[in-house]
Amino acid sequence: MKNQSFVYRFIVRWLVCSLGLWIAAGFLGSHLTYNNSGWVIVWAGFFLAIINAILRPILVIFSLPAILLTLGLFMVVINGTTVFLVSKLYTSLEVTNFWAAILAGMIIGLVNYLVTAILENRER
């Protein structure tokens, strides 16, 4: 049962990351491009979900002093770093610069928050 829960949560995160990337691409226009291919968004969301599951906790631990010093605002930089890293590893997703990646990370974080709140509200 625990493995099913992990797989379910990963698939939800994958879909939320893909949705967030698609919305971010709509807002950021030419700063975040995906060649108008839905598959690029789906695969980029998959890679982002993997990086968020594996690398993000390590980044958070190493940057804990900066997170505490900025009262959590440094998490925006971590989110932008993960988006920028995905764009470098998966070249079909193009992010023009680090600031665009930070804005995309903020949008993805907002979408993630909203979807999580909706899903938690439904479970009650």
pLDDT per residue as tens digits for the range 27-63: 998 898 888 888 999 999 999 999 999 999 999 999 9
Residues 7-39 as b or e (16 or more Cβ within 10 Å = b): eeeeeebbebbbbbbbbbbeebeebbbbeeeee
What is the pLDDT at residue 85? Answer: 96
Give the separation between CA 14 and CA 46, rounded to whole angstroms: 5
Give the separation between CA 24 and CA 19, rounded to whole angstroms: 9
Q: Find the DSSP H helices in 29-73.
A: 38-62, 64-69
Quick one: average pLDDT of 75-94? Answer: 94
Number of Cβ atoms within 10 Å of the Cβ of 71: 7
What is the pLDDT at residue 108? Answer: 94
Give the separation between CA 19 and CA 3, rounded to whole angstroms: 24
What is the pLDDT at residue 4? Answer: 66
